[in-house]
């Protein structure tokens, strides 16, 4: 008897809840909210960069993604860029599965995974090696690269990473489907 009562009560609550929605049309509800007031598009990349910096607490700025760091340093105001880089200077950076774009004995520039085509622009990250590389990676090769944020420049825009080390991406294991 209790089970039947519980099912009846549950069904009644379900249908009462559904019955409430058709009484008021969705368009009437959303017509009262002006979308221009809710969503304000950013006027410029500088405003977006400033907003990204403001919404990240100072103690968490070293955790920003590399693309976010590049956006703030490139598009943000001089004050925003200086504030961010003060938090980043001498902190480690670790990039996994990036594509080599340019390389010589002393430096490497990389492309992000999304930029696998070589007509895509370079990233601004330049990894400088203290000891010249003996085996220079080829453009298009996937690597793991580490280093320490050192400096940046606005003209030409570049983020310099020192104490860089490079490792090949380990091959992915072959997974054979069960037969």
**First-to-last C-alpha distance (Å) of the chain:** 51
Under 8 Å CB-to-CB from 9, ≥6 apart: which residues?
none
The pTM score is: 0.67
The answer for 97, left when phi > 0, alpha when psi is -120 to 50, beta otherwise, is left
HEC string for 113-139: CCCCCCCCCCCCEEEECCCCCCCCCCC
pLDDT tens for the chain, residues 1 to 179: 555 555 555 555 444 444 444 444 444 544 555 555 556 676 788 888 888 899 989 899 888 888 888 888 888 899 999 999 999 999 999 988 888 888 999 999 887 655 444 454 557 788 999 889 888 999 888 899 999 999 998 888 888 999 999 988 887 777 776 66
């Amino acid at each position: 008897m209790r089970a039947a009562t519980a099912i009846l009560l549950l069904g009644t609550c379900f249908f009462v809840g559904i019955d409430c929605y058709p009484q008021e049309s969705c368009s009437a509800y959303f017509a009262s909210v002006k979308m221009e007031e809710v969503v304000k598009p950013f006027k410029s990349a500088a405003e977006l960069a400033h907003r990204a910096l403001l919404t990240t607490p100072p103690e968490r700025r070293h955790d920003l993604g590399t693309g976010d760091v590049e956006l703030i340093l490139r598009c943000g105001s001089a004050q925003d860029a200086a504030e961010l880089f003060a938090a980043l200077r001498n902190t480690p950076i670790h990039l996994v599965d990036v594509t080599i774009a340019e390389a010589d004995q002393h430096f490497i520039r990389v492309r992000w995974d999304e930029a696998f085509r070589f007509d895509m622009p370079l990233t601004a990250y330049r990894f400088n090696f203290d000891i010249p590389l003996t085996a220079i990676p080829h453009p298009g090769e996937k690597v793991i690269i580490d280093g320490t944020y050192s400096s940046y420049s606005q003209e030409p825009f570049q983020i310099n990473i020192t104490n860089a080390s490079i490792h090949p991406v380990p091959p992915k294991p072959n997974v054979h489907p069960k037969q």
